[in-house]
Amino acid sequence: MRELSSSESVTEDENLVGSQSEEFFITSLRPELNYICSNPVRACIMHMFINNRELGHTMQVEDIARRIGKRHSIVIYHLERLSNWKVVKVVKSVRYGNTEKRSIWGLNLEYPNLIREVYSRILKLFFTQKELNTMCSINKSTRK
């Protein structure tokens, strides 16, 4: 059996701690998972991120709002909620004077098991792939 160098041992310990903390976090969220997954806007956001592989599971807020036919503020509200649950995160922010706008959001890939758990629950209990595809392709302009 090969001995691990001290740097390899630390890395494996960090991975173990990381996966344990993720499992603990998932366990603590279990009572809320149905609440998280049952909302159609959050389900659409998750569906679009997961299916947007070519852009690294990220999207602009304006694009999300346009595709699901909801106002920008509603999309931001649900993104913030998903962020509190560590499912998504801000990928890119842009500064405009004194304010910082969170323009690109994406899946929080630090918690892959959490993302799988949330998305599988969405599909098992609340929405089908076909329903999600329909809900995520409304393409309404909310600025009429």
Does the residue 102 lie in any domain?
yes
Q: How many domains does the chain have?
A: 1
Does the residue 8 lie in any domain?
no
User: Which residue did the predictor score with more confidence, 126 or 95?
Assistant: 126
Does the residue 21 lie in any domain?
no
pTM: 0.78
CATH number of 129's domain: 1.10.10.10
Range of the domain at 97: 33-135
Q: What is the pLDDT of residue 126?
A: 96
* CA–CA gap between residue 81 and residue 87 (Å, rounded): 9
Q: Tell me the average pLDDT of the chain.
A: 83
Does the residue 1 lie in any domain?
no
Task: Tell me: pLDDT of 45 over 90.
Answer: yes
Does the residue 13 lie in any domain?
no
Mapping DSSP to helix (H, G, I), strand (E, B) and coil, where does residue 100 land? Answer: strand
Report CA torsion sign: 58, 62, 67, 72: positive
Structure token digits, residue 70: 């909801």
Residue with tokens 């999309």: 75
Side chain identity at 142, as an amino acid letter?
A: T
Does the residue 114 lie in any domain?
yes
